[in-house]
């Protein structure tokens, strides 16, 4: 009995040390969000005070009201949600189909095409923004959400998402496809009914990654959107200012509201995301 107690003591201490280390790292990452949330309840003078304080003398909930008074923030918030949903849907459809094709379909020069696709991950969007802008003007898409959705879904997110999905399909056994072919299933049926349900953790990882890219994109909305009502949240956050400069408390309140959709989405898909990240290591 004593030996078992002694042997379990180092494990307990090791486990406690790990939890303490993880808690310390979590505090480092959570500190900016805590400061942002506390700043949303301060006046501008309290926000810039030195030494800084976590809470002001009075909780200024009216900062959240002013967010919607100074700008059509509700419409801008809705714009970002629409862009997020459509970009995620577009990216998942493209990356899942392309990932399956690269992994399971034998095509001429398939590996070369895949390498060319991967090279797109290393080209920053700023390097191609001028020809993209000219194309958007020629298509008459200025001041619409269309270029923001298409560019984000096809150029920004699809290459890395396709790589993730290809790796997920490659890790699956060939026997499933062979059994489906014996049963008379065609290519699309095999893809949709056999393989696609098996890569849901990877789809969840792609969903979170794409949502993060879409929600935070700044350059494309800044260039392509003109009307205040058409703006998305990242660009709208820069417009909360008056003659004296930025309204720090109101900006913090708007920023606090802006992180909620991605946080909620991650919490809902957390298990699938963790499974997707560990899937390759386990197999």
**7-16 pLDDT, tens per residue?**
566 777 777 7
The label of the residue with tokens 């619409």 reads: 144
Phi, psi torsion values for 242, nearest 5 degrees: -130, -165
Instruction: Report the pLDDT value the prediction gives residue 104, as an integer from 0 to 100.
Output: 81
Q: What are phi and psi of 168, to 5 degrees?
A: -65, -45
Cα dihedral 88, 92, 93, 96 in deg (nearest 10)? 170
What is the 3-state secondary structure of the chain?
CHHHHHHHHHHHHHHHHHHHHHHHHHHHHHHHHHHHHHHCCCCHHHHCCCCCCCCCCCCCCHHHHHHHHHCCHHHHHHHHHHHHHHHHHHHHHHHHHHHHHHHHCCCCCHHHHHHHHHHHHHCCHHHHHHHHHHHHHHHCCCCCCHHHHHHHHHHHCHHHHHHHHHHHHHCCCCHHHHHHHHCCCCHHHHHHHHHHHHHHHHHHHHHHHHHHHHHHCCHHHHHHCCCHHHCCHHHHHHHCEECCEECHHHHHHHHHHHCHHHHHHHHHCHHHHHHHHHHHHHC
Residue 57's pLDDT is: 75
Token output for 106:
């034998």
- Which residue numbers in the chain have pLDDT < 70? 1-9, 242-245, 270-283
Q: Cis link prior to 51 (omega < 30° from 0)? A: yes
Tokens read off for 246: 């930025």
CA atoms within 13 A on the CB side of 189: 9
Mean per-residue pLDDT of the chain: 82
Calpha distance 131→148 (Å, rounded): 15
Cα separation, 208 vs 88, in Å, equals: 9
What is the per-residue pLDDT for 92? 93
Distance (Å, rounded) from C-alpha 91 to C-alpha 100? 14
Is the Cβ–Cβ distance between 191 and 177 less than 8 Å?
Answer: no
């Amino acid at each position: 009995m004593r030996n078992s107690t002694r042997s379990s003591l180092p494990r307990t201490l090791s486990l406690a040390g790990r939890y303490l280390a993880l808690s310390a790292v979590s505090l480092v990452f959570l500190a900016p969000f805590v400061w942002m949330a506390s700043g949303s309840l301060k006046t501008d003078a309290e926000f810039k005070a030195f030494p800084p304080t976590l809470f002001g003398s009075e909780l200024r909930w009216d900062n959240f009201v002013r967010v919607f008074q100074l700008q059509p923030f509700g419409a801008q918030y809705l714009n970002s949600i629409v862009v997020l949903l459509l970009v995620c849907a577009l990216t998942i459809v493209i990356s899942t189909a392309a990932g399956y094709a690269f992994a399971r379909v034998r095509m001429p020069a398939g590996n070369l095409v895949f390498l060319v696709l991967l090279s797109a991950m290393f080209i920053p969007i700023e390097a191609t923004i001028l020809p993209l802008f000219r194309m958007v003007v020629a298509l008459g898409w200025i001041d619409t959400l269309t270029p923001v959705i298409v560019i984000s879904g096809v150029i920004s997110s699809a290459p890395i998402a396709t790589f993730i999905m290809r790796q997920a399909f490659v890790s699956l056994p060939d026997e499933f496809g062979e059994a489906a072919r014996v049963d008379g299933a065609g290519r699309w049926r095999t893809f949709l009914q056999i393989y696609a349900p098996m890569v849901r953790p990877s789809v969840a990882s792609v969903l979170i990654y794409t949502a993060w890219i879409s929600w935070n994109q700044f350059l494309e909305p800044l260039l392509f959107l003109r009307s205040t009502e058409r703006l998305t949240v990242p660009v709208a956050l820069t417009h909360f200012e008056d003659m004296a400069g930025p309204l720090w408390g109101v900006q913090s309140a708007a920023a606090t509201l802006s992180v909620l959709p991605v946080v909620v989405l991650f919490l809902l898909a957390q298990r699938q995301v963790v499974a997707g990240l560990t899937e390759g290591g386990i197999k």
